[in-house]
Amino acid sequence: MMLNRQFSKLEAAGNDFIFLDAQSWSSPNAKQIQSWCDRVFGVGADGLVRMSLISPKESSWEFYNRDASKAEMCGNAARAAAAWLADRGVQFPHLLRTEFGEVVLDQAAGGRWSAQLDYTHRPLRQIAVQSQGQLGQLVNTGVPHLVLMQTQALNVSEELRREARAHRFPKEAGPDGANVTYAWREGDVIEVMTFERGVEDFTLSCGTGMLAAAVVASGALSGDKWPASGVKIRPRLCPTAALEVRSESFPRELILIGPARLVFEGRFKHLD
């Protein structure tokens, strides 16, 4: 079937997404999502978001991973949603309804965007997990992450991909498994790499992975006080993106602050 409907491509710290306006688009099927997210035969993206504008102050979304599976939350996509909404003249702060819960989107200094996640009804918990002989910390910051703190920097390799796949299904995470996040300190910055479920590879960055790494690295769930200056985060695979995680009432909320922008807009000519 031929059509001529618009889509938007946005990225947030290297994490990229196709955005559809629900006024023009019904919910896509799995074949469409996988085809459009394909980096050779489609637009290319880590995920797809169908946005519904409820009012100038409120929206909701459907979020799909690249393999068409659904995820309750995505921190980078939430900030990308803020950039998408800003182009449509909404009011900020803006409430985004997700399967995880309510997320407050807002503008931040320096052309950045913030996404504030509320954990009042989904309490943050940190569980020590033995996985493949390594001690990790399982934290659900919207989706579950097995955080593996490292003593030195890592680079992506086939060996690391194999290792991450082996860590994907700690029994404590349930049948869908967990994202695998590697983190280490570089001075006062936490560097992060995440192997994402639903993508099944390392992405340039992962918002909920950066939140999880910040929680573990800060020690705030182990008795330390949340740092007043926040936690500086840098995705290893997108090093030009500087982000921070703040909290005014830890552990009830976390705020992810960082860049997001519209890359381009286009039109699909057919559904396949």
- Active-site annotation, residues: 74, 206
Max CA pair span of the chain: 58
Superfamily, domain 126-258: Diaminopimelate Epimerase; Chain A, domain 1 (3.10.310.10)
Each residue of 56-76: pLDDT tens digit?
999 999 999 999 999 999 999
For domain 2-107+264-270, the CATH class is alpha beta
- Render pLDDT for 202-252 as a digit per residue (tens, 0 to 9): 999 999 999 999 999 999 999 999 999 999 999 999 999 999 999 999 999
How high is the pLDDT of residue 272?
62
Q: Are 164 and 156 in contact (CB under 8 A)?
A: no
Tell me the domain boundaries of the chain.
2-107+264-270, 126-258
Please calculate the CA angle 57-63-64 and round it to the nearest 5 degrees: 165
What's this model's pTM, rounded to 2 decimal places? 0.96
Residue 100, pLDDT > 70, answer yes
Can you tell me the distance from the alpha carbon of 56 to that of 258, in angstroms, rounded to the nearest whole number?
A: 23
3-state SS record for the chain: CEEEEEEEEEEECCEEEEEEECCCCCCCCHHHHHHHHCCCCCCCCCEEEEEEEEECCEEEEEEEECCCCECCCCHHHHHHHHHHHHCCCCCCCEEEECCCCEEEEEEEHHHEEEEEEECCCCCCCEEEEEECCEEEEEEECCCEEEEEECCCCCCCCHHHHHHHHHHCCCHHHCCCCCEEEEEEEECCEEEEEEEECCCCEEECCCHHHHHHHHHHHHCHHHCCCCCCCCEEEEECCCCCCCEEEECCCCCCEEEEEECCEEEEEEEEEECC
pLDDT tens, position by position, 110-167: 889 999 999 999 999 999 999 999 999 999 999 999 999 999 999 999 999 999 999 9
- Give strand pairing partners of 136: 129
Fold match, 2-107+264-270 / 126-258? yes
Q: How far is it, in rounded angstroms, from Cα 3 to Cα 107?
A: 34
pLDDT of residue 111: 85
